[in-house]
């Protein structure tokens, strides 16, 4: 690892290009994860329920995972060739339509790839050629997937959040973003804060204001960045959620009774805290006269 850091330190332009291309490739894979992981989980839950009820079928199920079946057009089932699967570029070459049946290809695919590459470059710019960049990229890519899955399905899969939570605790052993004591307290505090808010809200209103995945996501940020960043994450997520929620109600006519997933706001807030948390805290303390 040290030799890789030394190499890229000598060639910063190559480092930026590598991170940008890697972001595009990972963004393409994230499109698969976003589309398939909820389906995989649903199939697994259904199978487990049937097994519990003793109604499981004897015929083996058709394989469906992140690698199989190969990428294909959802309309005509045309299998996408390698040259049709180049991040961003293929969408423009095909003019946003399937080569076989002519149906539109969702704009989401190149947008996810572009946003993932842009966020990756921002991480590389912020942390430079360091070990922090590697792990910050891992977290960033997973947050992109969690955000869009939650928007589509109101779901923050344990298959993503829990491994990241444990990874954050392990990284704290090496003081990558925070120390172990702060990480442990942060993970426990992050979960308990939203758990308490959830039960208090349900006690007062009789409704559930958020899901358990939100608790785990905030615990994840506590494990990665320590308990000291949790107030900032909560404040930023509430601010972003309030602004976007108000925008959707006023300008898009969204029904106030339709639930809005909180996970994307937490993800945005956690990413901002990772990137500029210290600067935001210092600015706030200076503005408030506390520092």
Domain ranges of the chain: 1-117, 130-291
Alpha carbon distance 269, 244 (integer Å): 13
Q: Which residue has the higher pLDDT, 285 or 190?
A: 190
230 confidence band (pLDDT: 50, 70, 90): very high
* Nearest alpha carbon to residue 19 among 34, 8, 30: 8
Q: Which residue has the higher pLDDT, 195 or 69?
A: 195
User: Which pLDDT value is given to residue 65?
Assistant: 86
Reduced to 3 states (helix: H, G, I; strand: E, B; else coil), residue 108 is helix
Alpha carbon distance 237, 256 (integer Å): 19
pLDDT digits (tens, 9 = 90+) for 72-117: 888 888 888 888 889 999 999 988 888 888 889 899 999 999 999 9
Has this prediction a pTM greater than 0.85?
yes
Write out the two tokens for 75.
């309309």
User: Phi and psi of 97, rounded to 5°?
Assistant: -135, 150
The span from the first CA to the last CA of the chain, in angstroms, equals: 39
Asked whether the predicted pLDDT for residue 258 surpasses 70, the reply is no
Q: How many helices (H) and strands (E) does the chain have?
A: 10, 0
Lowest-confidence range among 3-7, 15-19, 34-38, 259-263?
3-7
Lowest-confidence range among 62-66, 83-87, 111-115, 250-254?
250-254
């Amino acid at each position: 690892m040290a030799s890789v850091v030394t190499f890229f330190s000598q060639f910063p332009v190559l480092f930026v290009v590598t991170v940008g291309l890697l972001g595009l490739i990972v963004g393409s894979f994230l499109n698969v994860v976003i589309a398939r992981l909820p389906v995989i989980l649903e199939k697994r839950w259904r199978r487990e329920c049937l097994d519990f009820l003793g109604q499981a079928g004897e015929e083996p199920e058709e394989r469906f995972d992140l690698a199989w079946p190969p990428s294909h057009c959802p309309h005509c089932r045309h299998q996408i060739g390698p040259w049709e699967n180049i991040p961003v570029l293929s969408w423009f070459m095909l003019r946003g339509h399937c080569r076989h049946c002519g149906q539109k290809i969702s704009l989401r695919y190149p947008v996810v790839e572009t946003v993932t590459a842009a966020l990756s470059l921002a991480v590389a710019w912020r942390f430079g050629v360091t070990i922090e960049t590697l792990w910050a990229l891992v977290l960033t890519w997973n947050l992109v997937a969690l955000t869009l899955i939650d928007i589509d399905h109101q779901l923050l899969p344990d298959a993503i959040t829990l491994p990241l939570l444990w990874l954050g605790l392990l990284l704290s052993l090496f003081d990558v973003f925070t120390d172990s004591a702060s990480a442990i307290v942060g993970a426990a505090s992050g979960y308990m804060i939203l758990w308490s808010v959830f039960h208090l809200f349900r006690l007062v209103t009789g409704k559930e204001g958020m899901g358990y995945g939100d608790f785990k996501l905030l615990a994840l940020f506590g494990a990665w960045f320590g308990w000291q960043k949790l107030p900032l994450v909560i404040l930023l997520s509430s601010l972003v959620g309030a602004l976007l929620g108000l925008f959707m109600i006023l300008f898009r006519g969204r029904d106030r009774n339709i639930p809005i997933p909180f996970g994307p706001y937490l993800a945005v807030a956690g990413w901002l805290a990772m990137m500029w948390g210290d600067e935001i805290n210092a600015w706030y303390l200076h503005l408030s006269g506390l520092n």
